[in-house]
Amino acid sequence: MKLKPGFEAEYKKRHDKIWPELSKELTAAGVLDYSIFLDEATLTLFAVQKLTDTHSSDELPQQQIVKKWWDYMADIMEVNADNSPMVTPLKEVFYMP
């Protein structure tokens, strides 16, 4: 994902006050742990989620609270037409269990 220039502090502020109903939805979908990292040089955001074996996180984009969050974040991130964050898939090149 990509942050727009000048919105680093605002992005952190919004996530520090994540909506309880969104947090509840993520937990219900099997998200056990969720971290987002910022490369300050490129404003690239990198998200890592740990999921339960029976997670339903693939269904999160259809949830109204997720769409509402996307709308809330659209002014400070690069987004698609539906306000979902623009995402660049990454290829795993190393994993150590």
Please state the domain count of the chain: 1
Q: Which residues contact 78 (CB under 8 A, 6 or more apart)?
A: 1, 2, 3, 4, 85, 86
- Look at residue 38 and tell me if it is in a domain: yes
On whether the CB atoms of residues 76 and 7 are closer than 8 A, the answer is yes
Q: What is the CATH number of the domain that holds 52?
A: 3.30.70.100
Residue of 13, 15, 24, 50 marked catalytic: 15
Quick check: is 90 in a domain? no
pTM: 0.92
Calpha distance 19→38 (Å, rounded)? 21
Q: Which domain holds residue 56?
A: 8-73
* Cα Rg of the chain (Å, integer): 14
pLDDT tens by residue, 39-90: 999 999 999 999 999 999 999 999 999 999 999 999 999 999 999 999 999 9
Instruction: Note whether residue 84 is domain-resident.
Output: no
The confidence score (pLDDT) of residue 1 equals: 97
Residue 3 falls inside a structural domain: no
15 given a catalytic annotation? yes
Pull the structure tokens for residue 23: 């947090």
